[in-house]
């Protein structure tokens, strides 16, 4: 997925939602789980009606720990949320889409659940979506704490390399992942 296409999609979404925004209705958020992994993350959510909202979110980790341990990525996602009671407060659910690129090497990902990744480096891109459910709890007048989990499908196109610096390519392929594809614990500021 080219960067110009990503920029075009982000600008188009911002233009479509721009007429719906009012300063008192915008929320910005930060996924604390991405922070713990050393990534930068931020999102914007705007109400579309009394019971719906749209969120655009991104995460980037452009650096690596060392030549042996690589974990670089960028990720964008969008979600349409349905709030049965009140927008940006309480229970919500809705579909989401995501896409990005990654470069992972010598990693023990998902607490060892994805076996076989550690001795290699993987580069590639992903695209997918699913259904998320979550809850936002009001901490103060402008502050919320949100938790969300999403289950879905992700198409992963990758190249597999030996872990050495500039290691030889061993393989390439496609992986069809079905399972938890969104997890968040977010600190949210509502304007």
- The pLDDT, as a whole number, for residue 107 is 67
SS3 state of residue 131: strand
Instruction: Decide if domain 3-190 falls under CATH 2.40.160.
Output: yes
Q: Retrieve residue 100's tokens.
A: 């990005």
Instruction: State residue 22's pLDDT score.
Output: 47
CB contact at 8 A, 148 and 136:
no
Provide the pLDDT for residue 80: 98
CA-to-CA dists, residue 15 to 3, 19, 121, 184, angstroms: 18, 8, 38, 26
With a cut of 80, say whether residue 23 has pLDDT above it: no
Domain ranges of the chain: 3-190
Express each pLDDT in 72-123 by its tens digit. 889 999 999 999 999 999 999 999 999 999 888 776 665 554 556 667 788 9
Give the Cα separation of 158 and 116 in Å (integer).
14
Instruction: Give the three-class secondary structure for 165.
Output: coil
* Mean pLDDT across the chain: 84
Nearest to 79 by CA among 106, 53, 51, 108: 53
Give the residue carrying structure tokens 């452009």.
62
pLDDT of residue 171: 84
pLDDT value for 7:
65
The span from the CA of 131 to the CA of 150, in Å, is 5
64 vs 15, more confident: 64
Rounded to an integer, what is the distance from CA 86 to the centroid of its chain? 24
């Amino acid at each position: 997925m080219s960067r110009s296409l990503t920029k075009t999609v982000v600008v188009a979404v911002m233009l479509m939602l721009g007429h719906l925004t009012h300063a008192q209705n915008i929320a910005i958020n930060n996924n604390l789980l991405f922070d713990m992994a050393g990534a930068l993350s931020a999102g914007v959510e705007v109400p579309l009606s009394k019971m719906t909202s749209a969120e655009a979110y991104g995460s980037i980790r452009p650096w690596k720990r060392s030549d042996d341990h690589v974990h670089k990525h960028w990720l964008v996602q969008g979600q349409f949320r349905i709030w049965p009671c009140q927008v940006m407060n309480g229970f919500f659910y809705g579909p989401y889409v995501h896409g990005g690129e990654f470069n992972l090497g010598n990693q023990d990902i998902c607490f060892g659940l994805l076996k076989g990744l550690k001795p290699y480096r993987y580069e590639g891109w992903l695209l997918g979506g699913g259904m998320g459910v979550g809850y936002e709890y009001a901490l103060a007048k402008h502050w919320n704490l949100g938790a969300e989990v999403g289950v879905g499908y992700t198409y992963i196109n990758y190249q597999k390399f030996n872990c050495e610096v500039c290691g030889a390519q061993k393989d390439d392929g496609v992986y069809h992942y079905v399972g938890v594809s969104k997890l968040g614990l977010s600190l949210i500021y509502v304007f």
